Amino acid sequence: MTGWSCLVTGGGGFLGQRIVHLLVEEKELQEIRVLDKVFRPKVREEFSKLQNKTKLTVLEGDILDEQCLKRACQGISVVIHTASIINVTDITYSEAIINVNVKGTKLLLEACVQASVPIFIHTSSIEVAGPNSYKEIIQNGHEEQHHENTWNFPYPYSKKLAEKAVLAANGWTLKNGGTLYTCALRPMYIYGEGSPFLFDIMNKALKNNGILEDTGKLSIANPVYVGNVAWAHILTLRALRDPKKAPSVQGQFYYISDDTPHQSYDNLNYTLSREWGLSLDSRMSLPLSLKYWIAFLLEIVSFLLSPIYKYQPPFNRHLVTLSNSVFTFTYKKAQRDLGYEPLFSWEEAKQKTTEWIGSLVEQHKETLKTKTQ
């Protein structure tokens, strides 16, 4: 199969950029199209440097714009769909989250059928599987266990519906008579340099005398480095293009983790930032059951106020559960079917992320210096 092309939606984002950087190394790839709503100037500059290896076309457009999607998919061999609104705190803008994550995915699948795109890889989420209760313990979970999120909060609910739509589309007949083959990847919590979540956490800590806020002392998670998630997408693409491997991958979903130690979210934040003098909050936390019921009351207040005012609670039951659960998964199925092995070790991932956090600390110092002059 020679002379193929790939569309990456959400390609200007944290994960999308990494996928594009790895794609340029792929053999016989003629064109990469990168679709996103907005591209920051720095991202455009990065992509222009990659033009020497493969034709790279930057497309600004909305995932809900059918005409835009039709144009983007024309002549494409593979779609990697990373575009989504990632929001685990906001319950007031549920319509936007459902629209982009669910309707946008369905529109893209339809555009693939019309443009006869044979391969569709979907970036799903660990939240499709749960956790549903902080009392439930799942360690080294796997695909055969059929874990399913039961929350109706916008983000996990939207990712569950989107993934179902993608896997249900496996085997659809394309306009040219061919067949659409789909696959979904469920990464754990993704960290790494450029992470919007880590950026917010570190900025809040720097404004709070270097004290990291409590994001989940009781959790045990297995975070995954962004470079390894991007690598899993490349291996999925290769598997789906390989006639021997493809039948075992089509219509499947895979948990994507790596060799990052299983730890609490608080411990991860501290490990990545302690070199720069940041420290954990030593104050006593509220009992978990009390925090859960406070979250429930805040959600009720938000609902009652919704006709006249959009009140976004600082946390909700889903976030409390997510941040305080023992919830880890193995990547053995991806290893077996995709040949997945982490591209970056924990030590490499930690070093790269720590260096980036160091640059944020330096920026903060410069800002403070400018203000005092």
pLDDT digits (tens, 9 = 90+) for 136-183: 999 999 999 999 999 989 999 999 999 999 999 999 999 999 999 999
Mean of the pLDDT values across residues 345-357? 98
Amino acid at 265: Y
Q: Is 359 helix (H, G, I), strand (E, B) or coil?
A: helix
Q: Is residue 16 assigned to a domain?
A: yes
- With beta carbons less than 8 A apart as the criterion, state whether 59 and 74 touch: no
Tell how strand 119-123 and strand 181-187 pair up: parallel
Domain at 34, CATH number: 3.40.50.720
Q: Is the full-model pTM beyond 0.85? A: yes
Split into its structural domains, the chain has a count of: 1
- With beta carbons less than 8 A apart as the criterion, state whether 198 and 306 touch: no
Q: Is residue 306 assigned to a domain?
A: no
Structure confidence at residue 1 (pLDDT): 47
Structural domain containing residue 102? 4-195+223-261+328-344
Q: Is residue 30 assigned to a domain?
A: yes
Mind giving me the DSSP string for 6-45? EEEETTTSHHHHHHHHHHTTSTTEEEEEEEES---HHHHH
Q: pLDDT tens across 23-71, in order?
A: 999 989 999 999 999 999 999 998 988 877 689 999 999 999 999 999 9
CA–CA distance, 164 with 124 (Å, rounded to integer): 10
Least confident of 124-138, 154-168, 359-373: 359-373
Q: Is residue 310 assigned to a domain?
A: no
Residue in this structure with the two tokens 């990291």, named with its chain if needed: 212
Q: Is 155 a catalytic residue?
A: yes
| CB proximity list for 291: less than 8 A, separation 6 or greater | 285, 315, 320
CA–CA distance from 61 to each of 208, 261, 349 (Å)?
38, 38, 32
Q: Is residue 307 assigned to a domain?
A: no
Structure confidence at residue 271 (pLDDT): 97
CA–CA distance from 38 to each of 62, 113, 332 (Å)?
9, 26, 36
Q: Is residue 84 assigned to a domain?
A: yes
Report CA Rg, the chain: 21
Q: Is residue 122 assigned to a domain?
A: yes
Residue 207 has pLDDT above 90, yes or no: yes
Options 93, 134, 155, 225, the catalytic residue: 155
Q: Is residue 213 assigned to a domain?
A: no
